[in-house]
Structure 1
Amino acid sequence: MLFFHPMDFLIIIAFGISLWAQFRVKSTFNKWTEVQASSGLTGYQAARQMLDNNGLHDVQIEPVQGRLTDHYDPMNRVVRLSEPVYYESSISAISVACHEVGHAIQHANSYPMLVLRHKMFPLVNLVSGIAPFLLIAGFIFSVSGLIGAGIVFFSLAVIFQLVTLPVEFNASSRARDLMISEGFIRSEEEGGVAKVLNAAALTYVAAALISLLELLKFIMIFASNRE
C-alpha cells in the first residue's frame, strides 16, 4: 500500500523537524531584530556597501513586502530585501541582507554549485510538477513504467534541493566573513549572526530531508511491487 508504508513514520518525523525549523527561524529572527548592530547600518546600507566593496555596483537593491521574503534575483541581478530587513539596523537585518549579497557574489564569481543550480532550474521546474501525477497514476493502475518515470523526475527535484544546501551554506559563510572584515559587526556580535543564519539554513536541510525520505519510500515501494 502506498499510504501506510513504514517510511511514512520517518517522513512524519522529518515533517515535524521542518515545522520546528520554520518556527526556529522566525523566533530567532524576531529575537535578534530586537538587538541593534553596533555599526548602526541598516540592511540596505550593509548590502549596498558589501556589493560596492566587491565591485558589484550594478546590482540593485529593492524592498519587498512581507517578512523573510528576502532573495537574490539572478535574472535581473537584484537583491530584494523584506521591509524589516531593508530599513532596520538590527543583527537580524544585516545578517539576512548580507546573506543575500553572498548569493550575488556567488553569481558574479560563477560559484560552481550555484551555476549548476541555475542550469537545473528550468528542467526541475518542469518535471517536479509532473512527477506526482506519474507516481499517483502508476500506483493506482499498477503501471511500473509510470512509477519509474515519476521516481526519475522526483529524483531530479531532490538533487536540486541537495545542490541548494551548499549554495546556502556558502552564501552564509561569505556573509559572516565579509561582515567581520568590513566592520559591519563586532566580534561579540558574531554569535547572534551565526544563530540567525544557521536557523535559516536549517529550513533548507529539513526540506531536503523530507524530499529524500519520500524518494526512498517510492523506490522501496517500486522495488517491492516488482518482486
Structure 2
Amino acid sequence: MYYPMFFEPTYMLVIIGVIICLLASSKMKSTFNKYSRVRNHSGMTGREAAEQVLRGAGIYDVRVEHISGDLTDHYDPRTKVLRLSDATYNSTSVAAVGVAAHECGHAIQHATGYAPLKIRGALVPVANFGSAIAWPLILIGLLFSSRSSMLFLNLGIIAFSLAVLFQIVTLPVEFNASSRAIRILGSSGMLYEDEVDATKKVLSAAALTYVAGAASAILQLLRIILLANSRRD
C-alpha cells in the first residue's frame, strides 16, 4: 500500500517520541516548581551550595557564575565554569541546591577523569557534525529514487546514529552526577533527610528528560531505518 511520505505508518514512532518528551518535560517542570517553593533549612543559595560542594571535593579552580534563563544550568569543562540559572543562583530552595549540586557532580567527574564524561566530550564535535548533515542527506535519499540516493540515505543514517550515540552516552554521565550530588548533600549535612529526598525527586525528574530524549532519538532512527529498508525492497 502506498502512503504519502509524511503520513506513512512509521510516523507514529515520531509521535510517540514527541509524547514521551512532552510528558518528561512536564514532569520535570512541575517537580522543580513544587520544590522551588520549599526553602532549605540553612537558607543557603544555589551559588553557596555549589561553592561548598566544590570546596568539599577539593576543587578550587572552578568558577561559579550566573547565567540568564531558567534551568539553563550547566558545567563547562573547557573553561572550568559552573553556570547557574536565575532559578538556581540566588534561590534558597531545595530544588536550587539539588540542581547546583548536580552541576558540581559534573565538575567532580571532570576533576577525577570520569570515563563516560571524557567519551561524551570526544563525541561532541562528531555528534554536532552528524546532527547538521543527517537530515539533508536523509531527505535527499528519500525524495529521489536512484541508486545514488540510497548512498545519501545510508550516509544520513550513519550521521544521525552519531547524534543518537551522544544522547545514549549522556545518560550515565547525568545519572552519575545526580548520584554524586545526592550522596554529598546527605553525607555533608547540607540538607536534612527530607530535603535530600526532595532533591532526589527533582533530579530524578530531570533525568527522565534525558531518557526521553534518547528514547525519542532512537525511535526516530528506527523510523529512518525502516523507511530505508522499504526503499530497498
User: For the superposition of Structure 1 and Structure 2, which TM-score range results when normalised by the shorter chain?
Assistant: over 0.9
In structure 1, runs of 5+ residues without a counterpart are: none
Residue 182 in structure 1 maps to residue 188 in structure 2: yes
Alpha-carbon offset, residue 47 of structure 1: 0.4
Alpha-carbon offset, residue 190 of structure 1: 2.4
Residue 150 in structure 1 maps to residue 156 in structure 2: yes
Q: Secondary structure at the match of 2:88?
A: helix
Q: Percent identical across equivalent pairs? A: 48
Larger deviation: 177-186 or 17-26?
17-26
Please give the alpha-carbon distance, in whole angstroms, between the structure 1 residues aligned to 2:10 and 2:97: 40
Q: Secondary structure at the match of 1:85?
A: coil
Residue 55 in structure 1 maps to residue 61 in structure 2: no
Alpha-carbon offset, residue 13 of structure 1: 2.0
**Out of 10, 28, 31, which is 1:28 matched to?**
31
Please give the alpha-carbon distance, in whole angstroms, between the structure 1 residues aligned to 2:126 and 2:228: 24
Alpha-carbon offset, residue 11 of structure 1: 2.3
Aligned length: 227
The CA RMSD over aligned residues, in Å, is: 1.1
For residues 157-181 of structure 1, the C-alpha deviation after alignment (integer angstroms, 9 at most, x for no partner) is 0000000011101100000000111
Residue 218 in structure 1 maps to residue 196 in structure 2: no
Equivalences for 1:48-127 in 2 at 5 Å?
Answer: 48-127=51-130
Question: Do the aligned residues in 1 keep the contact of 2:13 with 2:220 (CA within 8 Å)?
Answer: no
TM-score by length of 1: 0.97
In structure 2, runs of 5+ residues without a counterpart are: none
Alpha-carbon offset, residue 59 of structure 1: 0.3
Question: Do the aligned residues in 2 keep the contact of 1:95 with 1:193 (CA within 8 Å)?
Answer: yes
Alpha-carbon offset, residue 5 of structure 1: 3.3
Question: Do the aligned residues in 2 keep the contact of 1:39 with 1:183 (CA within 8 Å)?
Answer: no
Alpha-carbon offset, residue 100 of structure 1: 0.4
Q: Secondary structure at the match of 2:6?
A: coil
Alpha-carbon offset, residue 133 of structure 1: 0.1
Please give the alpha-carbon distance, in whole angstroms, between the structure 1 residues aligned to 2:81 and 2:204: 24
Question: Do the aligned residues in 1 keep the contact of 2:17 with 2:217 (CA within 8 Å)?
Answer: no
Alpha-carbon offset, residue 6 of structure 1: 2.3
Question: Do the aligned residues in 2 keep the contact of 1:41 with 1:184 (CA within 8 Å)?
Answer: no
Alpha-carbon offset, residue 2 of structure 1: 3.5
